Amino acid sequence: MDQLSPLDAAFLEVEDADPHASLAIASVAVVEGPAPSHDEFLALMRSKLPVLPRARQKLVRTPLDLSTPAWQDDPSFDLTYHVRRTALPAPGGDAELCALVARIMGQRLDRDRPLWEYWVVEGLADGRWAVLAKVHHCMADGVSGTMLYDVMYGDGPAPEPAGDGSSTSLFSLLANVVRAPLALAGGVLSLALSLLPVRPSSLFGQIGSPRLYRVVRASLPEVKEVARTFGVTVNDVVLAAVSQAYRALLLQRGERPSAHSIRTMVPVSVRGDRRLDNQVSLRLAFLPVDAESAVEALSLVHQRFTDAKRGHQAESGHALAQLARHEPFAPLAWSVRLGAMMPQRSIVTVTTNVPGPRKPLRVLGRRIVEILPYVPIAIRIRTGIAVLSYTDRVAIGITADRASTSDVDVLAEAVHEAFAELLTASRHDAASTHRG
């Protein structure tokens, strides 16, 4: 049996510690119609099972957490339980689709079965339909989740066997620490300092189980245009727009945006293979919600995340995760569970940016028009933002706690406005440069 890595297992521990969390990730592929019959879609899924053995496996825990949970074949596996079908009420627009996504994602997956569901959704506007793919975070991160698109709907190869990574030599890990001790030590210190409490605000605190979900769209060529003009990365542009959105939300609530109001966790892929698991580290930095303009926010974001990169946060986090594979699991599990139950005051939101498929994909001959991402929230994090690019489009999925963030539309509208402001500023800057 394949065992989960400590990082994979940590998502289970956090979910166990937070009764209001459902730690499944998801994406929604919007497809041109007409929708296939239920039998047609079941046949497609059945044809992919031989190259996706994890889809037929469930988790088995060991007594007293002596080792991480392991995957084993489910003797009662029933494909029809995992492939479901529903329809949107008229008119089948974003409001109806987002409400459905929030409702499905607010429900936990059944731990006694393989940890995934696929929902075929009929009744979208313009004769379209959708496929919502829901997978527990212990199975996959954002990158391996999008990798499944190439397997399911393209000609991508099957994922590699996951395993628990224990074949990695402890000696080789220690050798890396010896080769770059100052860099790794500095990264650990940077991560530790980044966990100091933030300024109190209404943006983090206790959450409930129900969710809200919103979608914002942007043009990938236009986002790249902004990045080129200002000499920054695409991720910087996204984070600047997100910063302005949180500023707008704080102002709407009558709160003062402070330089130390919002620290975000940004997952960083450290993937070196095609395994279906989690291979991520993280960077932590404050979003410049005190910046009055999107252009100023962009400059500050670029500076802060460049500093975080130079601080080796991601490398140190990855090294710690690798070393954890060689430690007894029980103390790690108990510490994660205890930490998740404590009222953390360090991280206000999570912002994840995943590159999706570059080429157009089809489902049973029907073209996928767009892919919308979903990121879960937990442990006092009331909002999360997932960004996913597909062909020439960018989709921003905003997850919010329904009880505390009923004004999530303020956040969504402000993201859209910030992208527009950055594009206008970049074109004005380019025109000025050309005239000069």
Residue type, 420: A
Chain length of the chain: 436
Question: Whole-angstrom Cα distance, residue 394 to residue 216?
Answer: 8
Alpha carbon dihedral 164, 170, 174, 176, in 10-degree steps, equals -50
Cβ(215)–Cβ(94) under 8 Å? yes
Question: Whole-angstrom Cα distance, residue 91 to residue 413?
Answer: 21
Question: Whole-angstrom Cα distance, residue 34 to residue 68?
Answer: 44
- Strand 280-286's sheet: what is its strand order? 211-219, 393-401, 383-390, 349-355, 263-269, 280-286
Place of tokens 């960077």: 283
Catalytic residue among 38, 82, 136, 137: 137
Classify strands 57-60 and 24-31 as parallel, antiparallel or unpaired: unpaired
Cβ(6)–Cβ(331) under 8 Å? no
Cα 86-92-98 angle, rounded to 5 deg: 75
Annotation marks residue 302 as catalytic: no
Cβ(391)–Cβ(357) under 8 Å? yes
The catalytic residue positions are: 137
